[in-house]
Amino acid sequence: MTLCLVRTGRSRDVASFERLFVYFGPRIRSFMLKRALDGQLAEELMQETMMMVWRKASLFDPQRGNASAWVFTLARNVMIDNLRKAKRPEFDPTDPAFVPDAPETPDVNFEQDESAERIRLALASLPEEQAELLRMSFFEDISHSMIAEKTNLPLGTVKSRIRAAFSRLRAALGEDR
Protein backbone atom coordinates (compact mmCIF):
# COMPACT_ATOMS: atom_id res chain seq x y z
CA MET A 1 0.00 0.00 0.00
CA THR A 2 2.94 2.30 0.60
CA LEU A 3 3.87 2.14 -3.08
CA CYS A 4 0.26 2.94 -4.12
CA LEU A 5 0.22 5.94 -1.80
CA VAL A 6 3.54 7.20 -3.15
CA ARG A 7 2.31 6.81 -6.76
CA THR A 8 -0.93 8.60 -5.92
CA GLY A 9 1.01 11.46 -4.39
CA ARG A 10 3.65 11.83 -7.06
CA SER A 11 1.74 11.26 -10.29
CA ARG A 12 -1.93 11.31 -9.28
CA ASP A 13 -2.18 7.70 -10.42
CA VAL A 14 -5.92 6.91 -10.37
CA ALA A 15 -5.39 3.13 -10.48
CA SER A 16 -3.17 3.33 -7.37
CA PHE A 17 -5.73 5.48 -5.59
CA GLU A 18 -8.45 2.99 -6.52
CA ARG A 19 -6.43 0.21 -4.87
CA LEU A 20 -5.99 2.41 -1.78
CA PHE A 21 -9.73 3.06 -1.71
CA VAL A 22 -10.64 -0.61 -2.03
CA TYR A 23 -8.14 -1.55 0.67
CA PHE A 24 -8.62 1.27 3.19
CA GLY A 25 -12.27 2.25 2.62
CA PRO A 26 -13.84 -0.67 4.54
CA ARG A 27 -11.17 -0.52 7.24
CA ILE A 28 -11.74 3.20 7.83
CA ARG A 29 -15.52 2.67 7.91
CA SER A 30 -15.03 -0.08 10.50
CA PHE A 31 -12.69 2.21 12.46
CA MET A 32 -15.41 4.88 12.53
CA LEU A 33 -18.15 2.41 13.50
CA LYS A 34 -16.09 1.15 16.46
CA ARG A 35 -16.10 4.68 17.81
CA ALA A 36 -19.90 4.57 18.20
CA LEU A 37 -20.64 6.53 15.03
CA ASP A 38 -23.74 5.51 13.09
CA GLY A 39 -23.39 3.82 9.69
CA GLN A 40 -24.34 6.88 7.65
CA LEU A 41 -21.85 9.13 9.44
CA ALA A 42 -19.13 6.47 9.32
CA GLU A 43 -19.62 6.24 5.55
CA GLU A 44 -19.45 10.03 5.14
CA LEU A 45 -16.30 10.30 7.24
CA MET A 46 -14.69 7.42 5.35
CA GLN A 47 -15.39 9.24 2.07
CA GLU A 48 -14.03 12.48 3.50
CA THR A 49 -10.90 10.67 4.71
CA MET A 50 -10.29 9.11 1.31
CA MET A 51 -10.73 12.50 -0.38
CA MET A 52 -8.13 13.85 2.02
CA VAL A 53 -5.83 10.94 1.13
CA TRP A 54 -6.19 11.92 -2.54
CA ARG A 55 -5.49 15.61 -1.83
CA LYS A 56 -2.62 15.08 0.62
CA ALA A 57 -0.94 11.96 -0.76
CA SER A 58 1.98 14.07 -1.95
CA LEU A 59 2.76 14.88 1.70
CA PHE A 60 3.27 11.22 2.63
CA ASP A 61 6.90 10.37 3.40
CA PRO A 62 7.60 6.61 3.43
CA GLN A 63 10.78 7.27 5.43
CA ARG A 64 8.74 8.55 8.39
CA GLY A 65 6.15 5.78 8.63
CA ASN A 66 3.96 3.32 6.83
CA ALA A 67 0.94 4.08 4.68
CA SER A 68 -1.56 2.52 7.05
CA ALA A 69 -0.50 4.65 10.02
CA TRP A 70 -0.59 7.79 7.85
CA VAL A 71 -4.07 7.04 6.47
CA PHE A 72 -5.51 6.20 9.90
CA THR A 73 -4.03 9.38 11.34
CA LEU A 74 -5.97 11.29 8.68
CA ALA A 75 -9.10 9.28 9.55
CA ARG A 76 -8.69 10.02 13.25
CA ASN A 77 -8.27 13.75 12.53
CA VAL A 78 -11.36 13.78 10.29
CA MET A 79 -13.34 12.09 13.08
CA ILE A 80 -12.09 14.59 15.70
CA ASP A 81 -12.94 17.54 13.44
CA ASN A 82 -16.43 16.12 13.00
CA LEU A 83 -16.89 15.73 16.77
CA ARG A 84 -15.78 19.32 17.32
CA LYS A 85 -18.29 20.57 14.77
CA ALA A 86 -21.04 18.54 16.43
CA LYS A 87 -20.28 20.06 19.84
CA ARG A 88 -20.71 23.62 18.62
CA PRO A 89 -23.96 24.98 19.96
CA GLU A 90 -26.64 25.84 17.46
CA PHE A 91 -27.62 29.48 17.17
CA ASP A 92 -30.71 30.09 19.30
CA PRO A 93 -32.33 33.46 18.61
CA THR A 94 -34.28 33.19 21.87
CA ASP A 95 -31.09 32.92 23.92
CA PRO A 96 -31.12 35.79 26.44
CA ALA A 97 -27.69 36.86 25.20
CA PHE A 98 -29.26 37.75 21.84
CA VAL A 99 -32.46 39.33 23.11
CA PRO A 100 -32.17 43.12 23.15
CA ASP A 101 -32.32 44.85 26.49
CA ALA A 102 -35.60 46.38 27.48
CA PRO A 103 -35.73 50.13 26.90
CA GLU A 104 -34.68 52.07 29.95
CA THR A 105 -37.42 53.64 31.97
CA PRO A 106 -37.55 57.39 32.55
CA ASP A 107 -36.60 56.77 36.21
CA VAL A 108 -33.37 55.03 35.21
CA ASN A 109 -32.54 57.76 32.69
CA PHE A 110 -33.19 60.42 35.33
CA GLU A 111 -30.96 58.64 37.86
CA GLN A 112 -28.15 58.29 35.32
CA ASP A 113 -28.41 61.96 34.33
CA GLU A 114 -28.43 62.94 38.00
CA SER A 115 -25.36 60.79 38.73
CA ALA A 116 -23.52 62.19 35.71
CA GLU A 117 -24.26 65.74 36.88
CA ARG A 118 -23.00 64.95 40.41
CA ILE A 119 -19.77 63.56 38.95
CA ARG A 120 -19.32 66.62 36.69
CA LEU A 121 -19.75 68.94 39.69
CA ALA A 122 -17.35 66.86 41.80
CA LEU A 123 -14.73 66.95 39.01
CA ALA A 124 -15.18 70.71 38.68
CA SER A 125 -14.49 71.11 42.41
CA LEU A 126 -11.03 69.50 42.06
CA PRO A 127 -7.89 71.60 41.68
CA GLU A 128 -7.13 72.10 37.98
CA GLU A 129 -3.97 69.96 38.05
CA GLN A 130 -5.73 66.96 39.67
CA ALA A 131 -8.67 67.22 37.28
CA GLU A 132 -6.28 67.30 34.32
CA LEU A 133 -4.39 64.22 35.59
CA LEU A 134 -7.68 62.31 36.00
CA ARG A 135 -8.83 63.39 32.55
CA MET A 136 -5.61 62.14 30.93
CA SER A 137 -5.59 58.90 32.90
CA PHE A 138 -9.23 57.86 32.61
CA PHE A 139 -10.83 59.72 29.74
CA GLU A 140 -7.86 59.71 27.36
CA ASP A 141 -6.55 56.34 28.63
CA ILE A 142 -2.95 57.56 28.92
CA SER A 143 -0.65 55.49 31.13
CA HIS A 144 0.72 57.05 34.30
CA SER A 145 4.26 56.90 32.93
CA MET A 146 3.19 58.76 29.77
CA ILE A 147 1.42 61.37 31.91
CA ALA A 148 4.63 61.81 33.91
CA GLU A 149 6.55 62.41 30.67
CA LYS A 150 3.99 64.87 29.30
CA THR A 151 3.75 66.88 32.53
CA ASN A 152 7.45 66.65 33.49
CA LEU A 153 6.46 65.26 36.89
CA PRO A 154 7.97 62.23 38.62
CA LEU A 155 5.88 59.06 38.22
CA GLY A 156 5.33 58.77 41.98
CA THR A 157 3.98 62.34 42.08
CA VAL A 158 1.54 61.60 39.24
CA LYS A 159 0.27 58.50 41.05
CA SER A 160 -0.10 60.23 44.41
CA ARG A 161 -1.95 63.20 42.86
CA ILE A 162 -4.35 60.87 41.05
CA ARG A 163 -4.96 59.03 44.34
CA ALA A 164 -5.55 62.35 46.10
CA ALA A 165 -7.98 63.36 43.35
CA PHE A 166 -9.93 60.15 43.92
CA SER A 167 -10.07 60.81 47.65
CA ARG A 168 -11.49 64.28 46.97
CA LEU A 169 -14.00 62.86 44.49
CA ARG A 170 -15.19 60.28 47.03
CA ALA A 171 -15.59 62.99 49.64
CA ALA A 172 -17.45 65.26 47.20
CA LEU A 173 -19.76 62.40 46.18
CA GLY A 174 -20.28 61.31 49.79
CA GLU A 175 -18.80 57.84 49.35
CA ASP A 176 -16.88 56.14 52.16
CA ARG A 177 -13.82 53.97 51.52
| Annotated domain spans of the chain | 2-87, 122-173
The crossing angle, in degrees rounded to 10, of helices 39-56 and 2-11 is 60
The Cβ of residue 31 has, within 10 Å, a number of other Cβ atoms equal to 20
8 Å CB contact between 123 and 131: yes
Q: Give the class (CATH, top level) of 2-87.
A: mainly alpha
Q: What is the pTM of this model?
A: 0.48
- Given this model, what pLDDT does residue 173 score? 83
Taking the chain (177 residues) in consecutive chunks of 10 residues, what is each chunk's mean pLDDT? 77 86 90 82 90 88 87 91 78 72 73 83 88 88 92 93 90 72
Choose among 15, 120, 138, 16: nearest CA to 5: 16
- Given this model, what pLDDT does residue 75 score? 92
CATH 1.10.10.10 fits 122-173, yes or no: yes
- Given this model, what pLDDT does residue 91 score? 67
